[in-house]
Amino acid sequence: MGSGCLKVTKYFLFLFNLLFLILGAVILGFGIWILADKTSFIAVLQMSSPSLKTGAYILIGVGALTMLMGFLGCLGAVNEIRCLLGLYFTCLMIILLAQIAAALVIYFQKETLKVELSGIVVDLIENYDPSDEDKRNLQDAWDYVQTQISCCGWTGAKEWENNEILRNKSNTEYPCSCSNRSKDLVEGRGFCSLEDPLNGTATYADWPVHEQGCMDGVEEWLKDNLGIILGVCTGVAVIELLGMILSISLCKNIHSEDYTKVPKS
């Protein structure tokens, strides 16, 4: 390969690694967002499945390593350092294989996560207590979900009839975050009282709440957000593959150039 082609390969590799550095920062940001978000459904997911926190730490680790690899790739390309390019190629291959393995695990575990999540939400509804400060973040996150999606319960409002506090009050109160009245949504959490008290025990049909459950809305939310994450990871994987091809090509041709510089006897 001529010196002109070598330079083109070198600068293309440098450009790819700049993109790689940026996408690594995005993956790192996703991991931090999952751990830091306490107001959306992510908080419920964290409580429902310890594997989500593990996944967040993996994203942070992969993001940080990706950024480091981007830096090493830029350095190796500009200065034509063969050992750095070789290390860069090896690490890219490991990261790519790890991403494929993680994607397969997520795909095959999604039904298990759905079952676990259903059980956690039902348990949360049954034991919901606005005065319990220990579970305040989790309960606020579920209230946020019901308010944003305009839903009530996991499969329907009837599940709230099993709440211990509401049963003790003969279901004359209902969750404010389920309400279809704007004045109840100002409160946003806890329980609201029926305007017209009933004689005897009320049912969910007497509550001014959304009847549809949150399951479908939550699944759609997860698909949308996982789609963004998987899209970013796919973009990173494509850049990784191109980076591997360019790095090994540059590494081989630097070696060839070195031999051409050796004086003939």
pLDDT at 37: 65
The residue ranking higher by pLDDT, 45 or 200, is: 200
Record the tokens describing residue 134, joined without a space: 């220990």
What is the SS3 assignment for 212? strand
Of all residues in the chain, what percent carry a pLDDT higher than 90?
A: 11
Provide the 8-state DSSP code for 154: S
Would you state the pLDDT for residue 49?
56
- Whether pLDDT at 50 is above 50: yes
Residue 198 CA to residue 235 CA, distance in Å, equals 58
Flag whether pLDDT at 12 surpasses 80. no
- From residue 74, how far is each of 86, 230, 237 by CA, in Å? 13, 25, 18
Q: pLDDT band at 160, cuts 50/70/90?
A: very high
Which tokens go with 219? Answer: 């699944």
d(CA 90, CA 154): 46
Q: Is 194 exposed, middle or buried (0-12, 13-18, 19+ CB in 10 A)?
A: middle
Q: Per-residue pLDDT tens for 79-124? A: 767 777 777 788 778 877 877 777 777 677 777 777 777 888 888 8
More confident residue, 177 or 8: 177
pLDDT band at 40 (very low <50, low <70, confident <90, very high): low
Write down the pLDDT at residue 51: 60
pLDDT of the residue at 148: 84
Average pLDDT on 157-166 reads: 92
The pTM (predicted TM-score) of the whole model is 0.57
Tokens of 98: 């790890």
Residues 151-178, mean pLDDT to the nearest whole number? 91
227-240 per-position pLDDT tens digit: 776 776 777 777 77
